[in-house]
Amino acid sequence: MKRILLPILQTAITLFLLWWIFRDPTKRASMAEAIRTADFIWLLPGVVAVGIAFLLQTERWRQLLKVQGIHLTWLRTWRITMIGGFFNLFLLGATGGDVVKIFYAIKETASKKSAALLSVLVDRMMGLVALVAVTIFICSFRLNELLAHPFTQAMMGTLALIMGGMLGMIIFGFLVDRLNLSRFIPTWLPMHGRIMEVSQAFSVYARDLRVLAITFALSVPAHFCNFLAYYFAARAFGAFAGKGGVMDIFSVMPMINTIAALPISLSGMGVREGLFEKAFNELFGTPASLAVMISMTGFLITVFWGLMGGIVYLLHRPEGGVKISEMEEEVESLEKTIENQA
């Protein structure tokens, strides 16, 4: 039932938010004018930047697979990463492309299914840890300005809660592994299964600090490359051309991307545009119509690469096809196996 209700709710919220954002005819006219006068050549470096981010993410996951003795070719790893990117954008619900990524990985290495799942989990974890580091680094330069406005202050509080919760689970999983506490963790505890997975991941990956350092180092520029898509989108519309333009965009992107990643709407649509509209207006005085166009155009660059992942999926999907529900069931079964082994 949850698999059905969540996509329906997300769709309803997305449609409502988009209606709310585009309901003003004056704003729509301003958007049309912005499109008419835009210099779309600026989008090309944005497309390249997001493409580089996918390459860095591919190498990050490949390094984590190697730790577990899974040696996929670089091209095969890139294909699965691209397919995961496609389903991250277009798969309804909260599971995202990780389920598809895990499914393809375990089909590549049937004897190491648990290892494949844990590699995807740690891949996500390293991306999160790097995002926290990037956020702290960037926001430290604009902290007073961010805290001076009510809306961005609320965004920072929300970001702190989200990241704090995620990091708390990672730290708790680490302690469960280090102190052998798995048998004392009650099964009714919220996120019990995920905590056990994190614990198992630490038992494998904490032994190789060099690889963790490499994956962290790959994650940092990957985040900056994704942020650049929105900077170049802004330049296409003639905004943020000054010396501090890049830092202006970077100062809010970690907050917006993290909050928009919550499974509230479809791929964050509507949520992202609303955050851009309010935050950019408060911080930089950017007109609402222009802020929305920057948000949508930056996101469309990511959609472009997601569609490229869709083409990869069509070219390399299993013969006869596999239903998403079947993928989810297989991954859920594997997760229960890992939980029981903890």
Q: What is the pLDDT of residues 130-173, one digit of tens each?
A: 988 898 888 888 888 888 899 999 999 998 888 888 788 778 77
Q: Is residue 172 part of a domain?
A: yes
CA distance 320 to 49: 35
Average pLDDT on 170-191 reads 72
The two three-digit tokens of residue 95, written as one number = 């599971």
Q: Is residue 86 part of a domain?
A: yes
- The DSSP call for residue 144 is H
| Residues 118/68, Cβ–Cβ less than 8 Å | yes
Structural domains of the chain, count: 1
What kind and span of H or E run contains 108?
helix 98-108
Nearest to 247 by CA among 138, 156, 154: 138
Tens of pLDDT, residues 11-57? 899 999 999 999 999 999 999 999 999 999 999 999 999 999 999 99
Q: Is residue 29 part of a domain?
A: no
Question: What is the pTM for the complete model shown?
Answer: 0.88
Q: Is residue 33 part of a domain?
A: no
Q: Is residue 26 part of a domain?
A: no
Rg (CA), the chain: 21
Q: Is residue 51 part of a domain?
A: yes
3-state secondary structure of 94: coil
pLDDT at 129: 86
Tens of pLDDT, residues 260-312? 888 888 888 999 999 999 999 999 999 999 999 999 999 999 999 999 999 99
State the pLDDT confidence band at 124, using cuts at 50, 70 and 90: confident
Q: Is residue 330 part of a domain?
A: yes
The two three-digit tokens of residue 318, written as one number = 């299993």
| Residues 248/240, Cβ–Cβ less than 8 Å | yes
Boundaries of domain holding 203: 38-341
Which of 95-99, 139-143, 173-177 is most confident?
139-143
Q: Is residue 27 part of a domain?
A: no
3-state secondary structure of 151: helix
